Amino acid sequence: MNKINQLFSENKNQKLLSLYFCAGCPTLDGTADVIKTLERRGISMIEVGIPFSDPMADGPVIQDAATTALKNGMTLRKLFSQLKDIKEEVSIPLVLMGYLNPIMQYGIEAFCQSCVDSGVSGVIIPDLPFKDYQDIVKPVADRYDIRVIMLITPETSEERIRFIDEHTDGFIYMVSSAAITGAQKSFDDAKQEYFRRINAMNLRNPRMIGFGISNAQTLKAAQDNAAGAIIGSKFVTLLSESKDADEALDRLFEALAH
């Protein structure tokens, strides 16, 4: 069974926590250490960012991390090599998050094969049009048992959400707002209503809520309304500041307690 499906089937009542960081930041060779540290500290799933020069869905924090990673020399090929080296040591799901351009240049088939070879269970491609997903990417990904995770926002129609739910597997990435990534202090009434509305749809796929989670209030709201929460910008900031995954996690857990 794909590790993503296994995670959700085995943790139906547990509030999961997934963290995002950008491969190659803060250091080129630190990616494996960050992943192993996060797993050791109880993180449920890890999103590893593929650095790209034009990350349109990302706020300044993740853009800066991608710039640093590219300057450090991180490439998709190098990332796969690093992940392959620790494949046997990592048991939690790894999801690559990246934009379409570098993946198309790598080649969809080659990309999926490299995912299998390096222990990657899924991929999030924010700028992948759904029709291209269905016609081009999904047939190949299905053959390699790679989950392609789709995003929904407060602006996504119910019809579209049901269509995504019907044609994807793994989980749905529920973006808390239509804005770019970045920490928020709280989720307003409109966002809470959005969470309740999606809950009431009784979708087939589990959902993870991301974008803006940085404290106890936003974490609780996400975990109360979905299978779990995804934290990106807050952890990326702490990792960039501390240069040490353990210290960054200590500071993150402290922030999430308040």
User: 9-23 pLDDT, tens per residue?
Assistant: 999 877 999 999 999
Say how far apart CA 93 and CA 3 lie, in whole Å: 5
User: 121-143 pLDDT, tens per residue?
Assistant: 999 999 999 999 999 999 999 99
pLDDT recorded at residue 53 = 85
Letter for the amino acid at 236? V
User: 43-93 pLDDT, tens per residue?
Assistant: 999 999 999 987 666 788 889 999 999 999 999 999 999 999 999 999 999
pLDDT recorded at residue 179 = 58
Please count the CA atoms within 13 angstroms of the CA of 242 that sit on its side-chain side.
16
User: At 248, which helix (H) or strand (E)?
Assistant: helix 245-256
What are the angstrom distances between the C-alpha of 156 and each of 151, 153, 175, 178, 191? 9, 5, 10, 9, 13
pLDDT recorded at residue 98 = 95
Backbone φ, ψ for residue 8 (5° rounding): -75, -35
User: pTM for this one?
Assistant: 0.94
pLDDT recorded at residue 180 = 52
- Span 201-217, average pLDDT: 93
Long-range contacts of 193-202 (CB under 8 A, 24+ apart): 194/154, 195/221, 195/225, 195/226, 196/225, 198/152, 198/161, 198/174, 198/225, 199/225, 201/158, 201/161, 201/162
Q: How many residues does the chain have?
A: 258
Q: Comparing 29-33, 52-56, 176-180, which segment has the lowest mean pLDDT?
A: 176-180
- Annotated active-site positions, please? 47, 58
